Amino acid sequence: MARYFATFSYDGTRYHGWQIQPNGISVQEVMEDALSKLLRQPISLTAAGRTDAGVHARMMVAHFDSDRVSDCPQLVFKLNRLLPCDIAVSRVEQVAPAMHARFSAIRRTYRYYIHTDKSPFLRHYSCELRYPLDFELMNEAAHILLDYNDFCTFCKSHSDVKTTLCHVYSSEWHQIAPNAWFFEISANRFLRNMVRAVVGTLIEVGRHRLTPEGFRGVIETGCRTAAGESMPGHALFLERVEYGLCAVGNQEDNKQINNNNVDNHNYIM
């Protein structure tokens, strides 16, 4: 069996998230079904992360094992013919057996989009907020996230996680039009619902309902009820996933891959 990484994107609007669900269609279900049909064997996908219902991915990476892939570009072509229009595969490639789509990833980046004027064109992929926001103050608060590594405050209640520790590399608001912005945050990992809870709390800062120091205090409480509301999922995008090693092809050359070694060059899938 050889291991393969698939890189793809999807519009999450009609899906109940990435992970297979008993009560609704998921991206994982559709992808696995297409791969299983084309390769004529059961295929199980393990993704770099799990997006929630309605959340999109400009770049998602998932691995699978198979002994029936003979031509990766041809498989990409066939997948895109078989998959629905809201999922697009950009690449399939063989990687070292030790590579893992989730555990080998060293950095993930999300963006949350908002706009403050009514727009018939943004409504599906950006959150409309009809009140003024102080983005300078919101950025001051956003930078405070870099001072912490425990984000229990922003984790969905009753989540089954072993640790709430995350290393945040960057956190900032960017203006892209007179009345449109996005919040970008990069970290080694994210907790369930974390980004939307962070954005909801930063919005409270932007409305002058919470000071930057108050935002710091919210983080230090470790209590989800102290943070702001979770923002709607339709405006959230997984932008990219990065890997520390590009271990493609030769199994013998890649036996000693150390998934914790991030001193190597970044490989952006």
Catalytic residues: 52
Sign of dihedral through CA atoms 199, 244, 66, 6?
positive
CA-nearest of 152, 228, 221, 227 to 192 is 152
Closest CA to 87 of 57, 124, 65, 110: 57
Backbone angles phi, psi at 72, to 5 degrees: -65, -50
